[in-house]
A and B are shown apart, each in its own frame.
Chain A
Amino acid sequence: MKVITANRLLNGDVVWLGDNRGWVERITLAKVFEGKDAVAEGLSQGAEGEKNQEVVGVYEMDVTVEEGVIVPVRLREKIRAAGPTTHPDFGKQAQAVSV
């Protein structure tokens, strides 16, 4: 299972490709792609976002879905999804909104 991720061009924020080709700020809102073809399609949607100056550095990353919640497989992606482990007050983990 994969999601497509990138950083926003303007401010560098971590984003994931959501439904309707939009970029979302929380991994829980990302669209999950299964299978080679679906992932390729996701990446090509991501490439559009790059072309439109929305995002940079599009790539796919492994996730699992645990009790309906999308969880990154690699620690690197867990840190990207949350923020620096050394600064719980910064990054997405600091934003009060829960989804």
Chain B
Amino acid sequence: MYRYDEFDASFVNQRTEQFKDQVRRRLAGELSEDEFKPLRLMNGLYLQLHAYMLRVAIPYGTLNGRQMRKLAHIARTYDKGYGHFTTRQNIQFNWPKLEDTPKILEELAEVEMHAIQTSGNCIRNVTADHFAGAAADEIADPRPYAEILRQWSSLHPEFSFLPRKFKIAITGAPNDRAAVQVHDIGLQLARNAEGEIGFVVFVGGGLGRTPMIGRKVRDFLPEEDLLAYSEAILRVYNRYGRRDNKYKARIKILVHETGLDELKADIEAEFEKIRFGVLRLPDEEVRRIEAYFAPPPLEVGASTSHTVEARKASDAAFAQFAAHNLNPHRVPGYTSVTLSMKPIGGIPGDASDAQMDVIADLAEKYGQDEIRISHEQNVILPHVKLDDLPALFDQLVAAEIAEGNAGLVTDIIACPGMDYCALATARSIPVAQRISERFGAAERQAEIGELKIKISGCINACGHHHVGHIGILGLEKKGEEFYQVTLGGSANENASIGEIVGRGFSSDEVVDAIEKLVDTYVGLRSGKEETFLEAYRRVGEAPFKEALYGAA
């Protein structure tokens, strides 16, 4: 895994010292809130409904046991014993005190972590496929490139005051698990005819109040041009992106208003000016960074394990877990295991300090000391020996993170919603909990098959509702919570924005409505192998609409 070099360590320490002094000056009255707010946001510190919230970066969702244990320690010592994994592969603490935050940042720096650029109008934490470096379908590990982008974008002086925030995602596999097409820049690793590595580049995707799928601007960007091209995109955005209206300030609006061809020409012109300059990636530097992500030494084994097969035959819960929570590994004899942070009726993405400690222990014992956080708010152990699965599963059961529901109807993404968030217009988590309870029976979930439900508590769409197969958006109508339902969204390589199915539902009605949609799907699918999304794309919205609102 990537280790901080002396530059990283020194800037993180510097930043921690600066923030400590800024907090001191704020408390002494030398800085007003208006002066302090942008400073605290640059260090991931928000003020929410009940308390401050600290968002800690987990670059490309990768961490190790020691780092996870530190997060557990912070949850226990400075917070209320839990943390919340987010859709940007970060973790949020919901109850830190302002006066404690410099100390928390110091503790994070001890394990090479920080909260820099988890907020503000800058380039945010770069996200990546959570199976990176392990997946069987991968062209190459995307994390070295994510790390190169992290180094380039960290405290980049030119891009510290962008018109609005800027999000980059990268995937190394043709099956996009990183939602790259709904990012400001989406990168998909590809190989050209000569076998060289490069990137398909998408620009201008995004969710929020104006959801858009990214537009392809390059079919193949050579590896060496990654930074120069990214810089060219950022420069064009920084120059022409709208600053007059916060709601029209993202690059997606610029793409939309300028037109793809003109914007592409602007990017290419800027790129030509800088492509042979300092940002050209030297091959040896890429290989040096790549070495940090060298795969752990894994012994090739049999692709089926007798231990696993025997346990599957005798234990239905294990069989369910094995059927849904494993992703094929590139090394036979290994698998990537999803630890579900979606217990039935639980809060999506929440982990207690004790669970974080267990995850750290299990990663060290069974997972080559590697942990990933997925944008779907789960935790992954990317390199687990098949033969170790039964023992691992038993310990997951004890820690209550063994639900075999990855990718199923109860594996719901939900933003914190109005239970925490100052921007929210309705609650998200309680809706997720009730849906989870409604569909919680193992057989029913398995029968329904792959179905992604995503819930946001406001139009900003942190819960990615636009790209849910079923999306739920919480709004306020006449003082009551009110939920709008969208169908047919997807964040994978065939990305699409969901369409509003009709009038929304009250909090009391919404779970029944979701059940009607699911039952309708089960009734009309061509077979069990046709997923909800495929069925929706085949038949369109009419039968779903009819199920919800009756015949027109």
Contacts and interface: CB of A to CB of B under 8 A. Distances in A.
B50 A73 contact: no
B97 A86 contact: no
A57 interface: yes
B27 A76 contact: no
B550 interface: no
Given A57-B47, A75-B418, A90 B97 contact: no
A73 B479 CA distance: 8
A73 B12 CA distance: 44
Interface stretch (A4-12, A16-24, A31-39, A63-71): A4-12
B479 A84 contact: no
A11 B48 CA distance: 11
A15 B33 CA distance: 17
Given A9-B98, A85-B419, A86-B347, A56 B49 contact: no
Given A9-B98, A79-B419, A86-B347, A56 B29 contact: no
Contacts of A50: 33
Contact of A75 (B27, B48, B80, B479): B479
A41 interface: no
Contacts of A56: 33, 47
Contacts of A84: 50, 419-420, 429
Given A9-B27, A86-B433, A79 B418 contact: yes
Interface string B397-419: 00000000000000000000011
A44 interface: no
B385 interface: no
B99 interface: yes
Nearest to B428: A86
B50 A83 contact: yes
A75 B48 CA distance: 15
Interface in B370-414: none
B366 to A, nearest CB: 31
A7 B424 CA distance: 17
Interface string B433-454: 1000000000000000000000
A12 B98 contact: yes
A56 B50 CA distance: 12
A80 B50 contact: yes
Nearest to A76: B418
B145 interface: no
Contacts of B51: 7, 11-13
B26 A53 contact: yes
A80 B97 contact: no
Contact of B429 (A73, A74, A75, A86): A86
B430 interface: yes
B420 A10 contact: no
A91 B481 CA distance: 21
B433 to A, nearest CB: 7
A14 interface: yes
B51 to A, nearest CB: 4
B102 to A, nearest CB: 13
A52 B26 CA distance: 11
Contacts of B48: 12
B250 interface: no
B52 interface: yes
A84 B48 CA distance: 11
A73 B429 CA distance: 22
Interface string B462-503: 000000000000001001110000000000000000000000
B164 interface: no
Nearest to B46: A12
Interface string A85-96: 111001100000
Contacts of B429: 84, 86
A9 B37 CA distance: 12
B167 interface: no
Contacts of A86: 347, 419, 427, 429-430, 433
B49 A79 contact: yes
B95 interface: yes
Contact of B27 (A10, A79, A91): A10
Nearest to B420: A84
B143 to A, nearest CB: 33
Contacts of B424: 76
Interface in B47-75: 47-52
Nearest to A11: B97
B80 A10 contact: no
Contacts of A13: 50-51
A52 B33 CA distance: 11
Contacts of B29: 52-53
Contacts of A14: 49-50
A75 B80 CA distance: 24
Contact of A85 (B33, B95, B430, B476): B430
Contacts of A90: 50, 80, 95
Contacts of B26: 9, 53
A59 to B, nearest CB: 11
A11 B96 CA distance: 7
B427 A91 contact: no
Contact of A11 (B49, B98, B476, B479): B98
23 contacts: A9-B27, A10-B27, A11-B51, A11-B52, A11-B97, A11-B99, A12-B47, A12-B50, A12-B52, A12-B95, A14-B49, A14-B50, A52-B29, A53-B26, A74-B479, A79-B419, A83-B50, A84-B419, A84-B420, A85-B430, A86-B429, A86-B433, A87-B419
Interface of B: 26-29, 33, 47-52, 80, 95, 97-99, 347, 418-420, 424, 427, 429-430, 433, 476, 479-481
Closest 8 CB pairs of A and B: A12-B51, A84-B419, A12-B52, A11-B97, A86-B429, A56-B33, A53-B29, A80-B49
